[in-house]
Amino acid sequence: MTPESPEEAIRRLAGEAARMARDAVDDVRRPAFRTEGTDPQPGGRPGEVAYAERVARELAGQRVHGVVCSWVDTAGINRIKTVPARRLPSAVAWGVGMSPVFDTFLADDSIVSTDVLGTPDGDLRLYPDLDRLTLLAGQPGWAWAPVDRITQDGEAHPADTRTVLRRQVRSAAERGLEFKAAYEIEFALGRDDAPAGEFVPACQGPAYGMTRLVELGAFSADLLAALAQEGVDVDQVHPEYAAGQFEISVGALDPVAAADRSVLVRQTVRAVAQNHGLRVSFAPSVLAGFVGNGGHVHVSVWRDGRNLHSDGDGRYGLTPDGEAFVAGILAELPALSAVGTPSPSSYLRLVPSHWAGAFAAWGHETRESALRLVTGVVGQRDRAANLEVKSVDLAANPYLLLTALIAAGLAGVDQRLTLPEEITGDPARFDAEELQRRGIRRLPQSLDEATDAFASSSLLKEALGPVLFDAVVAVRRGEAARTTDLDPEAIAAAYRWVY
């Protein structure tokens, strides 16, 4: 028998650990307790601490030593604290301490402030959500859980984007509406032995080419295995257009779970890449002047089990409420840019004729419009029809983005908005007069412009609440200011390895 190489041994051991992790997940997710989308409370919800004690014992039996408590800040950075697995019951009962200052952190860890955030004062408690507890297949010895942040007085923190999204979904449910959502995740794989700060593509094959998959086949197979072991429903993984770029698409879930899954998938991609001597960037622009990484969002609206984007009498099967939902998002797109394209790096990607959705327009299967109506194949349209928001990227906080999109769509439903003429082809072919005649607007071309639009949106201020709304404005102004004198190459470099 040929001796296995060190790399083969690492992969074998990681696979064995992942199988153990999957078995542990099966155990710890057996009946006992569910949060059912309720807010955490000091001391734990009824039955929650006892359940956490059982989970902690199961984790210890599987040699899982730590639990990652994860949230996403206003700048779109996944921030964490960790606790030993044996301390999980305490974390569930009383939370884990963390300063609220992170709501006004910039991507380079500098701090801006609002009238209530950005000081050294105060404390929050991080409460892990056991419904979403996942053993990390790419990081043996660790489990992961998203957290809700509440104050020491037991109140929801007004800038906690996961809580804000959950409440937005709950409000819509009171009106009989539900949502399914999913994020597409594009990423660029670079060589980990490249000079510090530089990006050297990890593969050389052509876009969508089999050559690129052959070059990175072991990584891709291990990624699929890891995500399967974590319970992530993967639709596809494929080479993309830019240098070293791949994309992974996952199944749709309710909005909070979809945002959780987006965070988990990126963490898993990063861990598996590192195991293969690769470095991954989810930044909007990895190399200035080239196609960047998108973070397209797919969302559909449902009532009483019926998809409102299908089987209606409107264009392409839209129901009146399905059309109004899309029209509401279209009307608010310039302001939404501060949420969906929140980095100076985003505007290196958001350019015409790059399939980035740089124009506020909609179209049926049109990949140059910001909003793409996806009808799906005959036989599946009642399940598959949805709206794809193409202009957004992965610097966005996924909870914040879905909150804002749903709020804008619901405003459209309330106002019974209708869609204008659809676009076909590339809007860049039209001159200014024709764009105006068609009601097509170029989306903001800078973070300052996007923030101005956001700051004037009463709709988004009401949806997010004044504390979170002001934090978004302050963080976006801070990011724009710190890159004022940088050229495109320097901007791309500044955010390349942050996301």
Domain annotation for the chain: domains and CATH numbers: 6-156 (3.10.20.70), 169-495 (3.30.590.10)
Tally of CB atoms within 10 A around 77:
19
Q: What is the band of 268 on the pLDDT scale with cuts at 50, 70, 90?
A: very high
- CA neighbor of 176 nearest in space, from 67, 303, 262: 303
Residue 1 reports pLDDT greater than 50: no
Tell me if residue 336 falls in helix, strand or coil: helix
First to last CA, the chain: 43
Provide, rounded to the nearest whole percent, the portion of the chain with pLDDT above 90: 85
**Model pTM?**
0.92
SS3 content of the chain, % helix, strand, coil (to 5): 40, 20, 40
pLDDT digits (tens, 9 = 90+) for 436-479: 888 899 999 999 999 999 999 999 999 999 999 999 999 999 99
Name the average pLDDT for the chain: 92
Residue 195 DSSP symbol: P
Q: Which amino acid is at 52?
A: A
Residue 30 reports pLDDT greater than 60: no
Residue 340 reports pLDDT greater than 50: yes
490: Cα separation from own chain's centroid: 25
**Residue 189 contacts residue 220 (beta carbons within 8 Å):** no
Residue 29 reports pLDDT greater than 50: no
Give the pLDDT score at 435: 85
123 or 376, which is more confident: 123
pLDDT digits (tens, 9 = 90+) for 168-187: 999 999 999 999 999 999 99
pLDDT digits (tens, 9 = 90+) for 132-168: 999 999 999 999 999 999 999 999 999 999 999 999 9
Provide, rounded to the nearest whole percent, the portion of the chain with pLDDT above 70: 94
